[in-house]
Amino acid sequence: MNDYKQAANKAELALNDGKYECCIEIIKPIVDTFSVSTKEGVNLRMLLITAYSGLNKNDEAIKICKQLAKSNSSQVRENTKSLIQILNAPDLKTPDNWNIKFENDFENNNQNNDSSNIRKKFNQKETYIKISEEPTGGTIPFKKGFAIFTFAIFISLIILLSGCVKINNKLDLRNINSIDMNIEVKSKYIKKIPWQINFEKKIGENFNSTKIFSDTEEFLIKEKGLDLNEVINKLNTIIKIASETTLINFEDIKITHSEEDYFFAKKHFFSLLFNLESLVDIDNLDISMNIINSSKPIIINQNKNTKIIQNDINWQLTPGKKNEIKFTYWNWNKLFLSFTLSILIVVTAYLIRKSRYELGSNLPELPS
The CATH fold assigned to 2-92+143-159 is 1.25.40
At 14-45, the pLDDT tens digits run 888 888 899 888 888 888 888 888 888 888 88
Residue-range domain boundaries for the chain: 2-92+143-159, 97-130, 175-335
Evaluate if pTM is beyond 0.85: no
Q: Nearest 10 degrees: CA dihedral of 278, 279, 280, 286?
A: -160
At 258-305, the pLDDT tens digits run 988 887 788 999 999 998 888 765 556 788 999 999 889 999 987 788
At 42-65, the pLDDT tens digits run 888 888 888 888 888 888 888 888
Q: CA angle, 256 as apex, 280 and 287 as ends, to 5°? A: 30
Strand-strand pairing, 212-214 and 179-187: unpaired
Q: 93 and 140 in contact (C-beta within 8 Å)?
A: yes
Q: What sign has the CA pseudo-torsion 233, 237, 240, 242?
A: negative
Q: What is the mean pLDDT of residues 310-324?
A: 89
The whole-angstrom separation of Cα 174 and Cα 184 is 20
Sequence-distant (6+) residues with CB within 8 A of 306 are: 299, 313, 314, 315, 316, 325
